[in-house]
Amino acid sequence: MTMPKISRQGAVSLLYFLFFASLGAFLPYITLYLGEAGWSGVSIGIYAAIGPLVTFLTQPLWGYVGDMWGNLPRLFALLASAAAVSVFVFAFLPVSSVFFLLAILVGFFQGPLSPMLDSMSVRLLGSGRSKWGVTRLWGSIGFAGVSVVIGAVFAERSSLLFVVYALGTMITAFSVSRLPFTNDGQPHQPKLGGFKLTGLASLLRGPFLPFLLATFILQFGHHMPTNFVSLVIADRGGSGSLIGLAWSTTALVEVPVFITTIRLLDRLSPERLLIGAGLLNVLRLAIFAFS
């Protein structure tokens, strides 16, 4: 059974809200949680590096599994459920070197969820995919709201970051499993054929490899300092509420960008938008460093 377009847009908005609200409980505070437990900056840096590395190595695998299975929503639900259970368990464990396993599990199960959700959302929106930016902004709103709440209670209930993440991710998994992610409501068909290295080699020829390198540099410049923002604010005397407000503000700044996405793409090429975003990120980090 098909869904009205307005219902599809509302469903995608809800999914983004739930998914990023879950991340808003976990991502801003896990390094702070480890730091307050006595971990050194080096150990926290290693922890922060493990997840993206695991995601980098395993994301092609999950893409291949999704193509072969032919049911990306169900794969998303399974991975999200596994991520929720994995994180929830660590709410009851003392902080030790076993938390490096948490980084591996998060990278393995949660890492591929965001691109999967983007792919499914565009598919669900169908002819209304031009409204994607309007749906995605609800993810920023969800992240902003939950990060403020967790920041306000972090000093007394720091373990809530695990519980809220697990609960929100499980709700997201259930919601995804209940929605039709095809335009005609028909089940997905698996894509036959095996993975071929020749196909990968052809992708890496021409302008695609420089594009990947540029993306790597942009992501590196963004995520490396982001992993330590909460620790820096706390080290400068900031409270949990201030940390939550800082992360919330960062997320809310994305809202007008998502609203104007289509207009920006009409006026500027994607390459120029990436360059502009990179320069703005440099300015943001410079202001933060010298403030």
* CB half-sphere exposure, 69, CA atoms < 13 A: 13
Residue 19 lies in a domain: yes
In angstroms, rounded to a whole number, what is the distance separating the alpha carbons of residues 291 and 285? 10
Residue 172 lies in a domain: yes
Residue 279 lies in a domain: no
The pair phi, psi for residue 34, each rounded to 5°, is -70, -40
Mean pLDDT computed over 116-127? 85
What is the rounded average pLDDT for all residues in the chain?
Answer: 84
pLDDT of residue 203: 63
Residue 232 lies in a domain: yes
Residue 208 lies in a domain: no
Sign of the alpha-carbon dihedral angle for 288, 25, 29, 224 = negative
pLDDT, tens digit (0-9, with 9 covering 90-100), for 132-160: 888 899 999 999 999 999 999 998 899 99
Residue 289 lies in a domain: no
CB of 147 closer than 8 Å to CB of 251: yes
- Distances in Å between the Cα of 136 and the Cα atoms of 15, 159, 173 are 9, 28, 17
Q: Residue 162 sits in which domain range?
A: 5-195+228-259
In angstroms, rounded to a whole number, what is the distance separating the alpha carbons of residues 2 and 290? 53
pLDDT, tens digit (0-9, with 9 covering 90-100), for 15-68: 999 999 999 999 999 999 999 999 999 999 999 999 989 988 888 888 888 878
Mean pLDDT computed over 226-253? 90
| CATH code: domain of residue 9 | 1.20.1250.20
In angstroms, rounded to a whole number, what is the distance separating the alpha carbons of residues 106 and 89? 12
pLDDT, tens digit (0-9, with 9 covering 90-100), for 75-111: 999 999 999 999 999 999 999 999 999 999 999 999 9
Residue 15 lies in a domain: yes
Residue 87 lies in a domain: yes
Task: Give how many domains the chain has, as a whole number.
Answer: 1
pLDDT, tens digit (0-9, with 9 covering 90-100), for 179-196: 765 544 444 444 545 555
